[in-house]
Structure 1
């Protein structure tokens, strides 16, 4: 961050004072909401405080990306169900759970701070454009916090001003009213921020015009789905997705993996990342708050050791599912233990390794059991070394990526009643995402490597070097897999191209496998993509295309806290999770050595009550007008 000062507590009513001497209890000056907001700088600091709230531990620093989103068909916790205190399993939380309270309390704190800022927005004499920028961002943040509340709790109180001390009994508004208010806030923000772009700002952890438009597309998508089912809103999804797309500001990063490496390394990718919540080193005024848990519970297993400063801490309490792993297209001729995938996202999202430690070094070890693989999207190994040493891990959280906008457009177009089959525009949008997934946005990459002669005399402990040369491209690397008989049985691609202009392949490169100390040299051949592997069948029905979008969202956005919400808005959450439970049982999830029985036990007994979180007990005791959600 460029500025570490926040005033969250100030805006909640705390008085700051300076004292003439130690323990002097008589303040010589003080700030309260009544005498603050007097300058443009004070308005900006107030806005920074609202931003800062978003990456607090009980918001996107941990709870909103882990505690109630990590038990789905794409990932499952691997911790014991009995005694689990974090609420990760549906059976592990009730209205009195502390993290349930947090999901309610912290968004309302952000809303209250936004309301106070908006009430005082006209106090200082200042540049009107800057005032409009601050107001637009505050309106967005208020709408976003209501989005958190209504998608988790359903009907909640709609508070648009700072309540008086006695105003505690506030009835919940309907979800329709909440969506209408979010729409109004965001449309006003769109006007106020119309020339504030992410490219002009230079970083993506503050709200800009395309962030507002992308968020409007998202709320319309949810509005159109369960439980409100206002299907006429699909047209609005397309309108606002097109505003983002046609702005020319955003495009996909050609290397899917680099998106998340950038987040770990505090590097901005303003083309791909429309909005991210900033932790340390990001937007001006957003504080560090001792770091976050991104890449910890949902991350690749590792333990920090002082003798190896390249090590890091990650608990990996969540594992992938076989359903996710198998959703990526594979090479049917692959001889690897888990067949190689043509989709480069699989081996990034599904980490087939972990880090073990000995007394002398950290060791990267294979993890081939699919149900036990770590979620690999957020990899702390890419964080700066000083983060690993102090444990802060200030990875920004991805809020809206450009690929999400493309997939929202594809889904919404397919749902429009004027189309009896998916329109070409819908295919174009989803295929753009798939093209990046297969690495072929700007050319062709190495698709697969086939061993033609396994040779002899090799060591599985020290497999031979594999060299990829020629073909007009650069950057492809691979490692050999050797069996216990000393034969090369497969070649695993680690990188398929450099993903920069001039590195793509025009013909199949030559594969050279180093000779053994004694024995015969193995040989292999490569194939490259042809640029069309990613294309969907252009003759899908609307039902088939809808399923393709669902699958693509899982493959692209897994572990980004969207899957559970997607399953709910698609209207079949309970049945979908029941079907997944049956699938998991049939695919050996309960195997004591290769499965994830804890994860399986955690998805038993899901009912309609789990579509929403319970309203917190403390709030029900305080607000007598509030009614508990069904089933709690």
Structure 2
């Protein structure tokens, strides 16, 4: 693991991908014992904890692109046939190292702040808010670590010396127990969602919604603690019962808002914020440039369009579901300097496999200057639609039986997906789920609905794993290979490479070398 030395505190407040609300300037070197005194110092330290989210190795790119390859998409970049996105990689892969290291760096920053915040000269209310945010972020980084790597070292104190590297991985149930403790404590400390004008800050709604996600994971593979369904339902219900959150009537507008810096916290509860800073790409991410509609037209906004879709995903959408042609582009762009759109024509296999994950489109990006490789488009970490679907899933598994509210939650998402919530819409009939579905059929309906609604948002791979269907789903793609033209059959490399070990990533070689007590995941 990357060693983080406490003496280099100034590095902690140098931001890459930092949230818009945290526009603090880096300070000169100062000993930690003398830091964390004023509100500005504590706020700057907190900014350093948030900063991790926007790093390229986190939601700047890897967590929603290379590390979320699933049955919906394939990677169109690698010419070597070796990449974590292809489930064919060496344990020394730099992307593994970077993501592992950056998450532990965020944990260390949170630990440093939590150890010293009580010595600060700030009001009790602010101290509670900042402490709650740091606790939550530490827990969230552990959730990301354990979701991707399983059992990992549980470090709850900051690094004091360079030699503090040997540590055994904690038991999975102990890591989740700590995550629950931290997040539950944070829920009582952080501010209400209405206290903020943006979606970058962790609010009570954020904590409640992510607690639902964590508990659903605990209820699924590998822990399979069915008692957690009740907890997931409880936390999701708190978001719903708040009475503030609602679906944006226009599904496409949710993602246009991310590009236009419009904050609709009723729908998009928590986001990673990216921004343009005097021509520097330091504050930008890859949302819409590595994915998005591929084009070399710099007026529209250059995009590699490297997250290509699988035809089975396209075919899975129901007739009239507007989400299909937003999640998957139905047009491409004219060459520069023209900025017009050209609609796809015909149904040739090459057309389907050349389409891209297109939720975030640079034509809507508002920024003084569009960079070639990076963008200012925000990335959603929690949306209200997700909360509704999590409630429905947890309620469906309730020992008391599914309530009518579960069906209402799913149907609200579907009604919006088919355009029925748009002003003046002529409602599409037969959009709601059939009544009387049993537990298994209702669960399958939710699994499909999460794919339609939340595709390419960094959740699909983890959903498939917790449901225990990752391996069979991925290997099942191979039967579709013949549906792709020869030039696109390389897109099935991921399905062909997948093995049982791939429910977890390999522990990076650098960690295995440095930490003599670390254990490698099975299959490596």
State whether structure 2 residue 489 is matched by structure 1 residue 597: yes
User: Partners in 2 of 1:87 and 1:105 — Cα distance?
Assistant: 16
Per the alignment, residue 333 of structure 2 pairs with 355
Distance 1:256 1:15, change over 3 A: closer
RMSD: 2.1
**Greater helix percent: which structure?**
2
SS at match of 2:332: strand
Per the alignment, residue 299 of structure 1 pairs with 292
Report the Cα offset of residue 85 of structure 1: 5.7
Per the alignment, residue 21 of structure 2 pairs with none
Alignment counterpart, residue 187 of structure 1, candidates 179, 184, 188: 184
User: Partners in 2 of 1:73 and 1:183 — Cα distance?
Assistant: 30
Per the alignment, residue 576 of structure 1 pairs with 473
State whether structure 2 residue 524 is matched by structure 1 residue 529: no
Q: Can you give the 5+ residue segments of structure 2 that lack an aligned partner in the other structure?
A: 12-27, 346-350
For structure 1, which segment, 201-210 or 368-377, has the greater mean C-alpha deviation from structure 2 after superposition? 368-377
State whether structure 2 residue 410 is matched by structure 1 residue 430: yes
Can you list the C-alpha shifts for 1:314-357, whole angstroms capped at 9, x where unaligned? 00112112222112211xxxxxxxxxxx1111111110222242
Per the alignment, residue 19 of structure 2 pairs with none
For structure 1, which segment, 270-279 or 378-387, has the greater mean C-alpha deviation from structure 2 after superposition? 378-387
For structure 1, which segment, 58-67 or 219-228, has the greater mean C-alpha deviation from structure 2 after superposition? 58-67
Report if aligned partners of 1:352, 1:374 keep a CA contact under 8 Å in 2: no
SS at match of 2:207: helix
Q: For 1:104-503, what aligned pairs fall within 5 Å after superposition?
A: 104-165=100-161, 166-193=163-190, 196-280=191-275, 289-305=282-298, 310-330=299-319, 342-357=320-335, 361-368=338-345, 369-384=351-366, 386-388=368-370, 392-419=374-401, 422-441=402-421, 499-500=422-423
User: Partners in 1 of 2:499 and 2:59 — Cα distance?
Assistant: 26
User: Partners in 2 of 1:149 and 1:320 — Cα distance?
Assistant: 27
Per the alignment, residue 563 of structure 1 pairs with 460
SS at match of 1:61: coil
* Count of residues in Structure 1 that have an aligned counterpart in Structure 2: 498
User: Partners in 2 of 1:141 and 1:128 — Cα distance?
Assistant: 20
User: Partners in 1 of 2:332 and 2:187 — Cα distance?
Assistant: 45
Distance 1:198 1:387, change over 3 A: farther
Q: Report which structure shows greater RCO (CA 8 Å, sep ≥6).
A: 2
Per the alignment, residue 519 of structure 2 pairs with 627
User: Partners in 1 of 2:181 and 2:330 — Cα distance?
Assistant: 46
Report if aligned partners of 2:393, 2:443 keep a CA contact under 8 Å in 1: yes
SS at match of 1:354: strand
Per the alignment, residue 19 of structure 1 pairs with none
- Which TM-score applies when normalising by structure 1? 0.76
SS at match of 2:431: coil
Report if aligned partners of 1:207, 1:275 keep a CA contact under 8 Å in 2: yes
Per the alignment, residue 5 of structure 1 pairs with none
User: Partners in 2 of 1:384 and 1:192 — Cα distance?
Assistant: 34
Per the alignment, residue 540 of structure 1 pairs with 437
Asked which structure has the greater CA Rg, the reply is 1
User: Partners in 2 of 1:13 and 1:34 — Cα distance?
Assistant: 12
Can you list the C-alpha shifts for 1:18-58, whole angstroms capped at 9, x where unaligned? xxxxxxxxxxx840222211112211110011112210112
Q: Can you give the 5+ residue segments of structure 1 that lack an aligned partner in the other structure?
A: 1-8, 17-28, 331-341, 442-498, 506-527
SS at match of 1:68: helix
Per the alignment, residue 449 of structure 2 pairs with 552
Can you list the C-alpha shifts for 1:148-191, whole angstroms capped at 9, x where unaligned? 10000000000000133222110000111111001000111011
Report if aligned partners of 1:154, 1:612 keep a CA contact under 8 Å in 2: yes
Report the Cα offset of residue 529 of structure 1: 2.3
Can you list the C-alpha shifts for 1:367-388, whole angstroms capped at 9, x where unaligned? 3522221111111111125242
Alignment counterpart, residue 74 of structure 2, candidates 59, 66, 76: 76
Report if aligned partners of 1:265, 1:395 keep a CA contact under 8 Å in 2: yes
User: Partners in 2 of 1:608 and 1:85 — Cα distance?
Assistant: 18
Report the Cα offset of residue 281 of structure 1: 6.9
**Greater strand percent: which structure?**
1
Report the Cα offset of residue 126 of structure 1: 1.9
Report the Cα offset of residue 390 of structure 1: 6.8
User: Partners in 2 of 1:392 and 1:384 — Cα distance?
Assistant: 13
